Amino acid sequence: MILELDCGNSFIKWRVLDSDSASASAEGVVGSDLALIESLVALPGLLLTRCRLVSVRALEETSKLVTALYETFGVAVSCAAPAREMAGVRNGYEDFERLGLDRWLAMLGGFKLARGACLVLDFGTAATADFITADGEHLGGFICPGMPLMRSQLRTHTRKIRYDDAAAERALEYLSPGRTTVEAVERGCTLMLRGFVLTQLELARSYWGDDFTVFLTGGDADLVSDAVPQARLVPDLVFVGLAMACPLS
Ligand SMILES: Nc1ncnc2c1ncn2[C@@H]1O[C@H](COP(=O)(O)OP(=O)(O)O)[C@@H](O)[C@H]1O
Ligand SMILES: CC(C)(COP(=O)(O)O)[C@@H](O)C(=O)NCCC(=O)O
Ligand SMILES: [K+]
């Protein structure tokens, strides 16, 4: 069985593939290395043969996790690394190693699925947009605060914005003007994300007309999907790219 990990700034997304790689036999989202190991240990009949991982965390933090996986499961870990070019996509950053690896893998996955120009939008701790032309040239992208960061900035820098997760979830059933603090903040931040999406779409249209594919991924992709009915919602887009960047044979 193959373990796949996507270590973002807030959460580790994991899944276990059967050895034929065809289907995920288990998956989850956890907040720490320890919680990951616990979830995996609790799986009946787990026999890991390989592991591939992408991380946007500090090298030291990632190394710790790699060591813990080796010590617990005896599994060697293959980590995605930056590249100037891969699978027909050319990294557009001045310094290719500085492009977030989750962005890079989502781009590889998107370009493979679209077989043409694409706009890849990822809604995690940060919200990111990346533009790839039909011949695989990465034009660059944009980074702005995602939902978790917008919330926590408001909370940290005001005296009176405080509410719990359950209230936050209820507040997002509608997007009409808020009549409580939680509604005003949750809906306001959601509209910021949607505004971000619409601006990226406008730019993509100015480059490619209607001839491009939009991908939505990341934990908060659902919050914006209504605003882009033509988009492909692909929650595991980073994992699609991870398999391309870390082939295991
Ligand atoms: N099952 C889930 N577990 C945890 N967070 C989730 C889940 N579904 C959606 N989210 C939301 O996704 C966001 C984090 O997205 P994610 O792509 O995991 O971020 P990152 O890659 O930066 O760690 C949070 O705002 C969180 O509330
Ligand atoms: C932009 C990001 C913070 C997004 O991280 P995430 O929200 O997925 O945790 C990450 O891709 C990153 O650290 N990138 C390096 C900076 C860059 O891409 O320019
Ligand atoms: K991510």
pLDDT in tens, 164-201: 999 999 999 999 999 999 999 999 999 999 999 999 99
Cβ proximity of 166 and 108 under 8 Å = no
148 lines ligand 1 (CB under 6 A): yes
**Three-class DSSP category at 232:** strand
Between CA 1 and CA 51 the distance in angstroms is 9
Structure letter (DSSP) for residue 243: H
Is the pLDDT at 21 greater than 80, yes or no?
no
- Residue 162 dihedral angles phi and psi, to the nearest 5°: -145, 130
- Asked if residue 20 has pLDDT above 90, the reply is no
pLDDT at 34 over 90: yes
Q: Which atom of ligand 1 is nearest to the CA of 29?
A: 3
More confident residue, 23 or 51: 51
| Catalytic residue (one of 102, 130, 220, 236) | 102
The H or E element spanning position 17 is: strand 12-17
Continuous segment of H or E residues that includes residue 156: helix 147-157
pLDDT band at 22 (very low <50, low <70, confident <90, very high): confident
Portion of the chain with pLDDT greater than 70, in percent: 100
Among residues 243, 198, 192, the alpha carbon closest in space to that of 220 is found at 192
Mean pLDDT for all residues in the chain: 97
Of 178, 175, 151, the residue nearest 223 (C-alpha): 175
Residue 137 has a pLDDT of 98
Ligand 1: residue whose CA is nearest its atom 21: 8
**Complex ipTM:** 0.97
Count other C-beta atoms under 10 Å from residue 193's C-beta.
22
Q: Following CA atoms 45, 47, 51, 56 in sequence, which dihedral angle do they give, to the nearest 10 degrees? A: 30
**Cα(158) to centroid(ligand 1), Å:** 24
The amino acid that residue 22 corresponds to is: A
Helix (H) or strand (E) holding 183: helix 181-208
CB-CB contact of 214 with 228 (8 Å):
yes
Domains, the chain, in order of start with CATH, read 2-79 (3.30.420.40), 90-146+188-235 (3.30.420.40)
Asked if 102 is an active-site residue, the reply is: yes
pTM of the model: 0.97
| Over residues 123-138, mean pLDDT | 98
